[in-house]
Chains A and B, each alone.
Chain A
Amino acid sequence: MSEKKSDFVKFEQVDKSYDGKELVVKGLDLDIAEGEFLTLLGPSGSGKTTTLMMLAGFETPTNGEIYFDGNPINNIPPHKRGIGMVFQNYALFPHLSVFENLAFPLKVRKIDKVEIEERINKTLKMVSLTGFENRMPAQLSGGQQQRVAVARALVFDPKLVLMDEPLGALDKNLRESMQYELKHIHETLGVTVVYVTHDQGEALTMSNRIAVFNDGKVQQLSGPNELYETPVNSFVASFIGENNTFTGTVKELASGSAKIETNTGEIIIANPIAVSSAGEKSRISLRPERVDINPTEQIENRFEAEIKEIIYHGDHTRVRVNLLGNDEFILKVPNASSNSKLHLGDKLNLGWSSQDCRALDY
C-alpha cells in the first residue's frame, strides 16, 4: 500500500456565498489526511455543513478549488466523485428493503449479483444487522436505520465517507453507543471520514482532528485534547467544554506569563496565548476543573469567593460562586465525602496556576 497522503482532500482558498451578499465560508484552507477521522464542529450557520456539501458536490464553491486525491473536483458532478455519504435523517429509500437500499450503489456500478450479495452480507455483519435484509426502513428503529445508512455509505468501498450530523435524531444512550461503533468501524476500515456535528462531546469522542468552525472560518484545527486544553481563541474556549472567563487589560507581558488587571482591579497572572502587547484588552479563560478549593501549596493566583448556588449532579456538584465580580464562576467539585461540607454563603479560597489560565483575544 502506498504511503498515506496528508492532503488527501484539500480545500484551497474556498469561498461560498448563496446570495451574493454574505460569505458563508470564507477563504477556507483545509487539508484532510488519508484515513483520518476529521470532524467539522461548529454552531449552526457556521459554514460546516456547506463545507461538507461542497465536498460532496451538492454545492459549488464560489471561489477556490477543492482537490480530492490530487485531482480538482469542482467540475465533477456528485455521482462521479465516488464519495459515500450519510445524511442527517438517514435518507433511506422508503420503498426499498434494506437489501435493495444497500444494493443500490452496487447495481449502479454494474457489479454482478453474486458479489453484490457477498458485499452486502459483509457490510451488514459489520454494522450487526445480519438478518434484516428484507425489512423495510419503516420497520426499523432509529438506531437500526442509522446503521443501514452507514452500511449503505460504506458498501461500495468509497475512499472517503461524509457524515452530516448522522446521530442527531437518536436519543442520548443510543447516540453514545453509536459513537463508539462508528469509531470502531473507522478504525477497522481505515476509511477517511469527514464528520459534521454541533455536538462537541461527539466530536471529542470520535475524531482524530477537529476543525472548529465559526463565522465561515476554521477557528482551530487540532486533536481533541489540544482543542480542550489549549484553545487558541475565546470562541473555541467557550464553545468547547465549560469555561470561566474574566475580562481585563494586559498590564505586563513577559514570555510565558502576563499580568492582567481585571475590571475590579485585581491582578491575575495568566498564560498569554492571544495577546501581544501591554494595554491590550483580553479575555481570560479558565476551566472549572482546574480550580483548586482551599489550595494548600503555593499557587500563583489565589482569591476569595462566596458560594451563590450549589447544584447536585450525581457524580459531581457544581458550585456557582462570586469571584472577582464574576457572578457566574462555576466550580466542579467531585462528590467525594470530604467535599460535602459546602454551604450557601460560605467563603472559599480558590487558586489556580497561571498555565491553566489562558489570556485570549477579547
Chain B
Amino acid sequence: MSAEIRTSDGELLSVKLRKVERRRRTTAFLLAAPLLFFIVFAYVIPIFQMLGRSIDNVQMNEFLSETHEVIQTWDGTEMPGEDVTSTFFYELKGLVEEKNHGKIATRLNYEKGGFTSLIKKTARKLKDFDENGNFLDQFIDVHKKWGDIEYWLALKRGTDAYHFRKYLTTFDFEQKFDGSIERIPEKKRINVTLWLRTIFVAAGVTFCCFLLAYPISHLLSVLPTRYSNLLMICVLLPFWTSLLVRTSSWMVLLQKQGVLNDTLVSLGIVADEGRLELMYNMTGTFIAMTQILLPFMVLPLYSVMKTIPPSLMRAATSMGATPFLAFRKIYFPLTYAGISAGSILVFVLSIGYYITPALVGGAKGTLISNRIAYHMQQSLDWSLATAMAAVLLVAVLIVYWLYNKIVGIDNMRLG
C-alpha cells in the first residue's frame, strides 16, 4: 500500500520534512557561500577567461570588421581584388587616426613575420594614397611585401574572430595558408622538448620525493611523539620559509663556487678545475624541486602509515615471514593510498613549477611554465601563453582522471 504518510498534525511528511530542513540547509549554504563566491570570481571565471583568450581574436575582428567581411569572398588563389584592398585601406586609415594600427600590426605579425614593419610603413604613407587609383598597386608601391599573396592570406586569416592555431603552436605545429598542418622547421621547435622535459622532470622529482619520503615517513610514524614532532618540524620547516629564499639558498649551495663544490674540493673528492656543474641545468632543477616538494610526499605517506598498526608486521613475522617479506607483502601494499596521493600532489605541483626552474634551471633546466611566463611577459603573445596554460590544465585533469580510475579519489588522504 502506498498511502501518503502524514505527520500527526495532518501535514504531508515529505513537505513537513523539507520545511524543517530548509532552515538548516540555508544556514549551511550561507556558511559556504563566501568560499563559493570567492572560488567562482577568483578561480572559475578567470580560468574560463584565460581559456577563451587562447582562441579569442575578437578585437582584430572588430578593428577590421568590414575588411573581414569582404575578404571572405576572396578565394585566395590570386591577388585580392579592389573591393578588398579599398575596404582595407579605409579601415586602416581609420585605425591610424585612432592610433590603433600598432595593435593590429602585432597581431598580424603572429600570423606572418614582417607584418609589424609593413603596417607601420604603410600607415605613414597612407596620406599619399590616391583614392581614385588602384589600391593594390599603391600598396605594393609603399612596400613590395604587399605583392606577396601570403600577406593578404594572413590578413584574411588574422581577422577571424576565433581560431585554434595557438594550440598547434603549443605542440610545434603550424597551419599553412593552404590549410594543411605541418610541423614547424626543426631548428624552431622548442615547445615539444619543453613539454617532454616538464613531464620527465615532474615524474623524476615525484620518484625522488618518494624514495626520500618513504623512510622518513615511516620513521615519523613509529617514533614516539616527542621525537616525531621534532622530525616533523624539520620536514615542515621548508613550508615556513619563502619559496624564493629556499630557491636562492640552493643557488648559494649549488653554484660552482658554492658551498657544496667548495666542500667537495676541500675534501679532495673533486679537483678544483673539475668543479661540478650543479646549477643552470637539469641537475639543479631536480635537486631544488625535490627538496621543496618533499613535504607534499611526506604528509600523505605519514598519515597513511600512522594508521597501520605495528602489530600487522609482528603478526606477519610471527607467521614465519622474514622482515623483508613482511614489508613487501603487508606493509608496502597498505601504503599504496599514501604513495598515490603523495605522487599525484608532487607530480601536479611540479608539472607547473615556475620559480625554481627559472632561477636554478638555466637554459637547459627550464620547464613549460617558464615558457608560459616568457610569452606572458616578454613576447606578449598572451594567446599562446594561455593556450599552453590550457594544455597544462588539461594534462593535470587527465592525471586526476587516471588517479580516480586507478585508486579512487575517495582514498586520498592528505595529512
Contacts and interface: CB of A to CB of B under 8 A. Distances in A.
Most buried by A among B312, B319, B321, B322: B319
B330 interface: yes
A79 B329 CA distance: 15
A310 to B, nearest CB: 45
B325 interface: yes
Given A89-B311, A91-B309, A108-B325, A83 B333 contact: no
B85 to A, nearest CB: 75
Contact of B334 (A56, A81, A94): A94
A78 interface: yes
Contact of A88 (B311, B316, B322, B329): B311
Interface string B303-315: 0000001011011
Contacts of A79: 317-323, 326
Contacts of A94: 334
A67 interface: no
A88 B310 CA distance: 12
A239 interface: no
Interface string A87-119: 111010111000000001100110000000000
Contacts of B321: 79, 104-105, 108
Given A88-B311, A89-B309, A78 B329 contact: no
B319 A87 contact: no
Contact of B314 (A58, A95, A104, A153): A58
Contacts of B325: 108
A87 B315 contact: yes
Contacts of A104: 316, 319, 321, 329
A82 B320 contact: yes
Given A94-B334, A104-B329, A109 B311 contact: no
A84 interface: yes
Nearest to A93: B330
A89 B326 CA distance: 18
A22 B312 CA distance: 28
Contacts of A80: 320
Contacts of A95: 333-334
Interface in B192-231: none
Given A93-B330, A108-B325, A87 B311 contact: yes
Interface in A149-199: 152-153, 156, 162
A104 B333 CA distance: 14
Nearest to B311: A91
Contacts of B326: 79
A83 B319 CA distance: 7
Nearest to B330: A93
B316 A87 contact: no
Interface string A104-145: 110011000000000000000000000000000000000000
A78 B317 contact: yes
A56 B318 CA distance: 7
Nearest to A84: B318
A254 B119 CA distance: 129
Nearest to A87: B311
A78 B314 contact: yes
Interface in B321-359: 321-323, 325-326, 329-330, 333-334
Interface string A64-88: 0000000000000111111111011
A58 B309 CA distance: 15
Given A78-B314, A85-B314, A105 B334 contact: no
Contacts of A109: 320
Given A83-B318, A152-B315, 17 more contacts: A57-B317, A77-B317, A77-B323, A78-B317, A80-B320, A84-B319, A85-B314, A87-B315, A91-B312, A91-B315, A93-B316, A95-B334, A104-B316, A105-B320, A108-B321, A152-B319, A153-B318
30 contacts: A56-B314, A57-B317, A57-B318, A77-B317, A77-B323, A78-B314, A79-B317, A79-B319, A79-B323, A79-B326, A82-B320, A84-B318, A85-B314, A85-B315, A87-B311, A89-B309, A91-B314, A91-B315, A93-B315, A93-B330, A104-B319, A105-B319, A105-B320, A105-B321, A108-B320, A108-B325, A152-B315, A152-B319, A156-B319, A162-B318
Interface of B: 309, 311-312, 314-323, 325-326, 329-330, 333-334
Closest 5 CB pairs of A and B: A105-B319, A91-B315, A91-B311, A85-B318, A79-B317
